[in-house]
Structure 1
Amino acid sequence: MLYTAIVPAMTANGTDAAPGGSTPAVVAALDGASVRRYTTGQVILDDITWTVRFGEHWALLGANGAGKTTVLRLIGALMHPTTGTVEVLGHRLGRVDMRELRARIGLVSSAQKVPQDATAHTVVLTGHSGTVQPLWRTYDSEVRDRAHALLAELEIKDLADRAYGVCSGGQRARILVARALMADPSLLLLDEPFNALDLPSREDLIDAMHGLAVTRSGLATITVTHHLEELSPAIGHVLLLKEGRVLTSGGAEQVLTADWMTACFGRPIEVSRHEGRWLARSGRR
């Protein structure tokens, strides 16, 4: 199969641009995308249609087994849909070199394999080469300086020489965000980045994500989480998944309501907001 080379249109400041520059460019678009397990015929995702634009920050919510991680795998160019189409950064899956496309997508997951004895700076460097182990010959002084700058941006520059394995959960999460940013991605995917974090570490990561949204206006993010408390004030859009289908999507204020959350999770849920942060709790049946 022949693949197209990835050559994006660019704006003056280096971000991907929409044709004509009049409207926000689409970073990812799913049109009727479905995923079925070949061996059993089980439907994992069913007819997902969803569009994410540059500069938008989305939360992807749903109960366990709703299909959230599978959606991220499609957008992250890690798998193809069974039916329907998926376009990422202007390229349709099946018509592009997936490895080359993945190089322009940042992924943060607590399940990522990282050498425990590698320093934080080394872990960030591997984001440049997209490898688990460092490829030292590919890291010139400019690349090394960029890794230090990203650690500083995430407010963990003091961890540069500390082994990843002895860092706290919150520190590791921010190291992985810095690693994902090494390739200067247009899209950042976060798959349950707050998993197992204590409250201070969670708040540090939320602050870091909010800071990125403020300083990187062209960056689009999609965050998978189970808890509204983990959403930064920058999250402006929400997609609710239920049993592999889109329940609803749109602006956070329109989606994060008691009615929609109750419908999504199957039990009464009360939703409130304070100073830009969301809170959900189960009401009485």
Structure 2
Amino acid sequence: MIYLTEMVKQKGGKPLLHGITWHIQSGEKWLVYGMNGAGKSTLLNIITAYDFATQGDICLFGMTPGQEGYSAQCVREQIGYVSGSLRDRFAEGEIVRDVVLSGIYKSIGVYQTPSDEDIKLAKDILERFGMSHFEDMYFGHLSTGEQQRVLLARALVTRPRLLILDEPCNGLDYVGREQLLDMLMNMHDDYQDMAVIYVTHFVEEVTADFTHALILKQGAVHAIGAIEDTLTSAQLTELFSMPVQLQYQQGRYQLIRRSKGF
């Protein structure tokens, strides 16, 4: 599905990413974790075909940049995308159904007359996630958590092969965060073949259904692999250069700073 091998990205002679080898298969759910400036956004921009690598081998959904048959638009058609910043791009007076419809057209807003089939897709996804009562409401009248759940429905309406969640809980209160995380976990049965990339600064958002983790540090892979082998106290202590203890209880993580004498 997604194959990055010894990928390098430079800008103005400065290395932003170097030596990135990362393979994503159908059905995997990846945590992407790292401090500010680690290269997470640059990496996502390359995967979504909004930027290009300086060197290395890249294959996105069977397409190789620069070779015959490659199309940035075709790459993006395979991807659903949710972020905290995306929420701010929609007008407050936009109808929720139209926000979901815009996911079909890969646009911000709807600029064409939707077909009956497209309207049915939007209605069905809202019903699937128990949000039919939002359909005719103004997007701006919803709570931040409700808006983010609508954007998740928008991302999933075309049944993408890859779902990217870029800090989706940013700006949410506790209830909104937990409702969104529950929604993400509960959708698994309907989207078993879809791969997921989840970017966050907070391990508390990592739920029991994650399968793998990629930890970035200063533009390079710090750790990669099965999440139980990668997201550990030892790895995070080394990442932060600070002693931390990662606790795991009832399917959720908590990060605690240790004293030197711990």
TM range (shorter): over 0.9
The alpha carbon displacement at 1:61 in A equals 0.3
SS at structure 1 position matched to 2:224 = strand
Aligned CA-pair RMSD: 1.3
- Secondary structure (helix, strand or coil) at the match of 1:65 reads coil
Is it true that 1:50 corresponds to 2:25 in the alignment?
Answer: no
TM-score under structure 1 normalisation? Answer: 0.86
Q: 2:126 aligns with which of 151, 154, 161?
A: 151
* Amino acid in structure 1 at the alignment position of 2:154: R
Q: Would you identify which runs of 4 or more consecutive aligned residues in structure 1 move more than 4 Å? A: none
Map residues 226-237 of structure 1 onto 2, 5 A cutoff: 226-237=201-212
SS of structure 1 residue aligned to 2:93: coil
Q: CA deviation at 1:60?
A: 0.2
Deviations 1:213-267 (A, max 9, x none): 2321101000000111111221111110000000111111111111001112221
| Identity score, percent | 32
Alignment equivalent of 1:131, drawn from 98, 107, 120:
107
Q: Is the 8 A contact 1:45 1:244 kept in 2?
A: yes
Q: Which deviations, in whole Å up to 9, do the C-alpha atoms of 1:31-51 show, x marking residues without a partner?
A: 11111113xx22111110011
- Say if 1:151 and 1:160, in contact at 8 Å, map to a contact too: yes
CA apart distance, 1:117: 1.2
Contact 1:115 1:132 in 2 (8 A): no
Q: How does 1:64-213 map to 2 (within 5 A)?
A: 64-95=36-67, 96-112=70-86, 113-137=89-113, 139-213=114-188
Displacement after TM superposition at 1:164 (Å):
1.2
Q: Which runs of 5+ in 1 are unaligned?
A: 1-26
Q: Which residue of 2 aligns with 1:5?
A: none
SS at match of 2:254: strand
Provide the C-alpha distance between the structure 1 equivalents of 2:123 and 2:217, rounded to a whole number of angstroms. 41
Q: Helix, strand or coil for the counterpart of 2:136?
A: coil
Q: Distance in 2 between matches of 1:208 and 1:91?
A: 31
Distance in 2, matches of 1:225 and 1:152, equals 28
The residue identity in structure 2 corresponding to 1:248 is A
| TM-score normalized with structure 2 length | 0.94
Equivalence map 1:23-42=2 (5 Å): 27-38=1-12, 41-42=13-14
**Secondary structure at 2:247's aligned position in 1?**
strand
Matches within 5 A, 1:220-231: 220-231=195-206
Query: Is residue 31–residue 48 contact of structure 1 (8 Å, CA) maintained in 2?
Result: yes
Describe the SS at the equivalent of 1:111: helix
Aligned residues: 256
Question: Distance between the aligned counterparts of 1:88 and 1:240, measured in 2?
Answer: 21
Determine which of 232, 244, 262 is the counterpart of 2:219: 244
Secondary structure at 1:121 match in 2: helix
- AA aligned to 2:251 is G
Letter matched to residue 94 of structure 1: G
Distance 1:258 1:89 in 2: 34
Residue identity opposite 1:63 in structure 2: M
Q: What CA distance in whole angstroms lies between the structure 2 residues aligned with 1:119 and 1:207?
A: 24
Give SS of 2:110's match: coil
